[in-house]
A and B are shown apart, each in its own frame.
Chain A
Amino acid sequence: MSPSRPAAALPADETDADALARRLRETEARFRTMADSAPVLLWMAETDALCTFFNQTWLDFTGRTLEQEWGVGWAEGVHFEDFQRCVDTYMAAFAERRTFEMEYRLRRADGAYRWVLDRGTPRYAPDGSFAGYIGSCVDITDRKDLELELELAVHVRDEFLSIASHELRTPLAALRLQLDSVARSIERRPQEHLASGRLAASTSAALSQVQRLTKLIESLLDISRFAEGRVKLEREDVDLVALVRGVVDAMEEPARLAGCSLALSAPPALSGRWDRVRLEQVVSNLVGNAVKFGARQPIEIDVAAAEGGARVSVRDRGIGIDARDQRRIFGRFERSVSARHFGGLGLGLWIAKQIADAHGGTIAVQSEPDAGATFTLTLPCDADGGA
């Protein structure tokens, strides 16, 4: 080795130093490019837990500058409800140098809070010493929304099942007592029972409960059929007036028992191509509701021709429906009355709406609390309007 020149002055060393510096810059630039073009929010913290790096994706997301986010500035964007938990999780994990995951709301540049999943992991220098943390965040708002929807759907389903179970038990209760009573009576006084004609009365009463149960179960099955679009209309020539009159006649007795009178006004006939059974379902539901909620007041049913179609309206003078509930009652499992007072699946109007829609028609309500309600079903006369 020649002792005549100091090593630092050698062009060879400078070139090496330059080359090293250049390679470091290139590596840095490559890292930056990669970090800034990553579709996730990236951050890095130093050994003192202060964050010193946020990639461009993060800065674009929050709409803030690196200076603003630097250190603990980033925490200003965390939703106040999540803030404490977020800070606690981070600091606890940092102290133990372990990986952590946390979900919190972070404010986006447009002011909206988005749920993010933040995952941080400790990083180490080549010599094995702790160098701080590196982490990433992904926007999971859509997943959270779906989770919430699912939770709500499960809750609605469970409530429905509970109400349905309740509703089914009532006709079952009557049926069971009727049959138990017959059995007991036959056991004790067989001749008397058969002779009194009570057997006929009991059988008839029991059959009527079976019918009630069957209808209820059909309603339950209807939900899934309609929801999955499995209902096909079977159109035929139907005289709407005759159909409505049939329903009114069938509802005569229940209406009388409830103290409501039924009055029908209609033209001699009104024909169209509709699904007879489904239409009967709708009209029965409307009249049934009027009787149930009609508070012993008269009910008026009106059938008329209307603009290339037909219109059926059912008007009661009962408890009425407030404006907010009017929008909800056509939803599935919705009722505008307390479950503690009125039984019912809350399906009737939803099904009615599905049937009306399938025909290309509409169903609407006009009402005010304590001033009764008028439900109007409109149907186009021919098959052009619907499924």
Chain B
Amino acid sequence: MTTTCRGVLVVEDDVDVLRAIVQVLEDEGLPVRTAENGLAALAQLRDPDAPQPCVILLDLMMPVMDGWSFRATQLRDPFLAHIPVVLLTADSGAAEKAEIAQASGALRKPVDLRLLLETLGPFLR
């Protein structure tokens, strides 16, 4: 974890879920940025003017570029591979998915607010 990282990048295509997550994180005083799909997330991460997030909250099912493709691309990029990822999924098998994606955790929708904060917490010191 580099000391120059900042907050959470939430990658989620559903507007309502995204807004709700943002609200929750901002209430905790955490800096939040958002992206509506994998491609938009990559663009942000590669933007030299944007601070890198300390953790990425990644939805799996999204149009244009889904969570799996994003993760694969991220892992191949030496500048981005180190950023930890927590998966968001509506399907079962969250733990298996986390393993396959080499993610630091996986949360199943509908996600428990406390669990969400507990899971992201360690990355946001």
Contacts and interface: CB of A to CB of B under 8 A. Distances in A.
Nearest to A202: B23
A205 B113 CA distance: 17
A140 B111 CA distance: 51
A174 B17 contact: yes
Q: Which of B14, B24, B90, B112 has the most CB atoms of chain A within a 10 A radius of its CB?
A: B90
Contacts of B14: 170, 173-174, 343
Interface in B1-40: 14-17, 19-21, 23-24, 27
A180 B17 CA distance: 13
Contacts of B20: 173-174, 177-178, 181, 205
A185 interface: yes
B111 A176 contact: yes
A208 interface: yes
B75 to A, nearest CB: 18
Interface residues of A, number: 28
Interface in A241-264: 257
B46 interface: no
B112 A166 contact: no
Contacts of A339: 61
A166 B24 contact: no
Interface residues of B, number: 25
A56 interface: no
Contacts of B116: 177
Nearest to A340: B66
A172 interface: yes
A342 B23 CA distance: 25
Contacts of B100: none
B97 to A, nearest CB: 13
Contact of A175 (B15, B21, B90, B110): B110
Interface in A153-184: 162, 165-167, 169-178, 180-181, 184
B73 to A, nearest CB: 15
Contacts of B90: 165-167, 169-170, 173
A341 interface: yes
A62 interface: no
Given A167-B90, A172-B109, A212-B16, 8 more contacts: A170-B16, A173-B20, A173-B90, A177-B17, A181-B20, A184-B27, A340-B66, A342-B63
23 contacts: A166-B61, A169-B90, A170-B14, A172-B109, A172-B110, A173-B14, A173-B109, A174-B14, A174-B17, A176-B112, A176-B113, A177-B17, A177-B111, A180-B114, A181-B20, A181-B113, A205-B16, A209-B16, A339-B61, A340-B66, A341-B61, A341-B66, A343-B14
Interface of A: 162, 165-167, 169-178, 180-181, 184-185, 205, 208-209, 212, 257, 339-343
